[in-house]
């Protein structure tokens, strides 16, 4: 479906209402859309393409506005294949179109299209493109929102910001405009899920992105997924939410959660002794114990990421740490965990692989791993419990 969103901008993207998983890790309960836009001046520019599997629908949408052969420029604000997947086939229908993208994107596009000689005009922050008839586009670098290649395109004359994934959502309805959203609560949860999954690791860049567009009088935010946002519609809400969600988290007290699994209580008993040791050094610290299998994994992942330091404990079962502990570690945001102090402990019977295996993984994630961890043999003895208290003390002193 094609829709005009301002005097010279047409939405020509494709809807994918049935999508339920995006990029392997994101649930998309409300489907998504691959938004793309045609801007008609004396020259014609296309902003973004779409997922390769939606090429036919996309081409049909373009044809409803113009002959694809009339496209002079194809602007890619980002090269992830949900934006660039249809590029190669589209260039066959628009052979004279010049591709415009950021410097990083120009490199990626050659590897994505497997056309080493692909001609791409790399544009830097603030560069402009004149479409004639008083219509000029300005490119705004927006690195890490959410790839190194990301940029925004600003069409001042009509107040249209092509914001790429920024301010987008995996939310699909027949009329993709914020003033016609049928289920506002569902949309709001999709906006938040999208932010968490895509921008959660890049919060400082989100704040920079917001700064960069703060001075623009945006009438329409033509994003790459979900309903287009308008001034007077959901735009201000989305901007306010992004600002709130991107604030750095501040813990009132030093927060040192201890996550563990235990079959017979031995690792749990060790965790309690470590806690006692930490509190003897840092009585004001917030040191909560979490038996991993009793809790919601995503919630534990968030607690781990929000910690000042953390500990994980696992018994050794069949020569390894247990799956729920590995599952918790899979919730770690590898971009933001670097340098975080972490310690590992666990009870074992004979071979004791769990503790060194977890230490290795946390070191690989660039955590600051405390020593070699603490192992106790079967039921922790009085001496082993005293060693666990000392382990907690020393870990706390190292912070």
Ligand X SMILES: Cc1cc2nc3c(=O)[nH]c(=O)nc-3n(C[C@H](O)[C@H](O)[C@H](O)COP(=O)(O)O)c2cc1C
82 binds Fe ion (CB under 5 A): yes
Q: What is the DSSP string of 337-386?
A: -TT-EEEEEEEESSS--HHHHHHHHHHHTT-EE-TT-EEEESSPPHHHHH
Work out what residue 80 binds among ligand X, Fe ion, none; the CB cut-off runs from 5 to 8 Å by kind. Answer: Fe ion
| Nearest position to Fe ion, beta carbon | 80
**Omega of the bond prior to 195 within 30 degrees of 0, cis?**
no
DSSP letter at 80 equals S
Could you tell me the smallest distance in angstroms from the CB atom of residue 146 to Fe ion? 6
Size of the site for Fe ion (CB under 5 A): 4
Piece of 14-22, 81-89, 208-216, 278-286 that binds Fe ion (CB under 5 A): 81-89
Residue 57 backbone class (left: φ over 0; alpha: ψ -120 to 50; beta: rest)? alpha
265 binds ligand X (CB under 6 A): yes
149 binds Fe ion (CB under 5 A): no
For 321, residues 6+ apart whose C-beta sits below 8 A from its C-beta are: 314, 346, 353, 354, 355, 357, 358
Closer Cβ to ligand X, 183 or 264, answer by number = 264
352 binds ligand X (CB under 6 A): yes
Q: Which of 345, 348, 391, 395 binds ligand X (CB under 6 A)?
A: 348
227/172 Cα distance (integer angstroms): 7
Our CA angle for 303, 304, 306, nearest 5°, is: 60
315 binds ligand X (CB under 6 A): yes
DSSP letter at 32 equals E
258/328 Cα distance (integer angstroms): 12
182 binds ligand X (CB under 6 A): no
40 binds ligand X (CB under 6 A): no
How many C-beta neighbours within 10 Å does residue 7 have?
10
Q: Which of 264, 323, 363, 371 binds ligand X (CB under 6 A)?
A: 264
48 binds Fe ion (CB under 5 A): no
Size of the site for ligand X (CB under 6 A): 18
Pairing of strands 120-122, 151-155: unpaired
Residue 244, φ and ψ in degrees, nearest 5? -65, -50
How many C-beta neighbours within 10 Å does residue 259 have?
25
Work out what residue 318 binds among Fe ion, ligand X, none; the CB cut-off runs from 5 to 8 Å by kind. Answer: ligand X
Contact 213, 140 (CB under 8 A): yes
262 binds ligand X (CB under 6 A): yes
Q: What is the DSSP string of 229-268?
A: EETTTTHHHHHHHHHHHTSPP--SS-B--EEE--SSSHHH
Work out what residue 244 binds among ligand X, Fe ion, none; the CB cut-off runs from 5 to 8 Å by kind. Answer: none
Q: Which of 165, 173, 178, 272 binds Fe ion (CB under 5 A)?
A: 165
350 binds ligand X (CB under 6 A): yes
Contact 71, 99 (CB under 8 A): no
Could you tell me the smallest distance in angstroms from the CB atom of residue 261 to ligand X? 7
Q: Which of 48, 57, 80, 272 binds Fe ion (CB under 5 A)?
A: 80
378 binds ligand X (CB under 6 A): yes
How many C-beta neighbours within 10 Å does residue 349 have?
11
Piece of 82-90, 242-250, 296-304, 333-341 that binds Fe ion (CB under 5 A): 82-90
Q: Which of 18, 114, 182, 318 binds ligand X (CB under 6 A)?
A: 318
Q: Which of 63, 121, 243, 319 binds ligand X (CB under 6 A)?
A: 319
Could you tell me the smallest distance in angstroms from the CB atom of residue 398 to ligand X? 24
How many C-beta neighbours within 10 Å does residue 227 have?
27
Q: Where on the chain is the footprint of ligand X (CB under 6 A)?
A: 262-267, 315-319, 347-352, 378
Residues that bind Fe ion (CB under 5 A): 80, 82, 165, 224
């Amino acid at each position: 479906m094609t829709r005009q969103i301002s005097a010279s901008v047409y939405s020509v993207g494709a809807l994918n209402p049935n999508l339920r998983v995006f990029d392997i890790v994101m649930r998309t309960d409300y489907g998504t859309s691959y938004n793309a836009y045609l801007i008609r001046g004396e020259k014609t520019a296309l902003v973004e393409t779409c997922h390769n599997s939606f090429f036919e629908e996309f081409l049909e949408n373009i044809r409803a506005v113009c002959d694809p052969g009339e496209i002079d420029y194809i602007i890619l604000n980002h090269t992830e294949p949900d934006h660039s997947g249809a590029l190669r086939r589209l260039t066959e229908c628009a052979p004279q179109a010049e591709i415009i993208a950021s410097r990083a994107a120009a490199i990626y596009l050659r590897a994505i299209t497997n056309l080493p000689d692909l001609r791409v005009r790399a544009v830097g922050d603030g560069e402009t493109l004149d479409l004639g008839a008083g219509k000029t586009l300005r490119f705004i670098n927006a690195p890490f929102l959410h790839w190194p290649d990301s940029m925004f395109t600003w069409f001042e004359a009509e107040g249209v910001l092509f914001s790429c994934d920024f301010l987008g959502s995996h939310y699909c309805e027949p009329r993709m405009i914020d003033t016609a959203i049928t289920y506002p609560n569902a949309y709001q949860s999709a906006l938040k899920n999208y932010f968490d999954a895509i921008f959660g690791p890049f919060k400082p860049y989100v704040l920079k992105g917001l700064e960069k567009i703060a001075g623009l009088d945006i009438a329409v935010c033509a994003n790459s997924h979900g309903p287009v946002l308008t001034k007077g519609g959901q735009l201000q809400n989305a901007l306010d939410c992004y600002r709130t969600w991107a604030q750095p988290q501040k813990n009132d007290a030093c927060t040192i959660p201890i996550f563990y699994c235990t079959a017979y209580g031995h690792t749990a008993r060790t965790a309690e002794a470590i806690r006692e040791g930490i509190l003897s050094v840092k009585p004001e610290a917030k040191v909560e114990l979490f038996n991993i299998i009793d809790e919601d994994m995503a919630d534990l992942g968030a607690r781990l990421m929000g910690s000042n330091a953390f500990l994980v404990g696992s018994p050794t079962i069949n020569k390894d740490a247990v799956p729920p502990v590995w599952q918790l570690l899979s919730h770690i945001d590898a971009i933001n965990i670097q340098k975080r102090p972490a310690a590992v402990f666990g009870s074992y019977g004979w071979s004791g692989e769990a503790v060194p295996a977890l230490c290795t993984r946390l070191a690989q994630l660039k955590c600051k791993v405390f020593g070699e961890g603490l192992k106790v043999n079967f039921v922790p003895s009085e001496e082993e419990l005293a060693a666990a208290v000392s382990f907690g003390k020393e870990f706390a002193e190292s912070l």
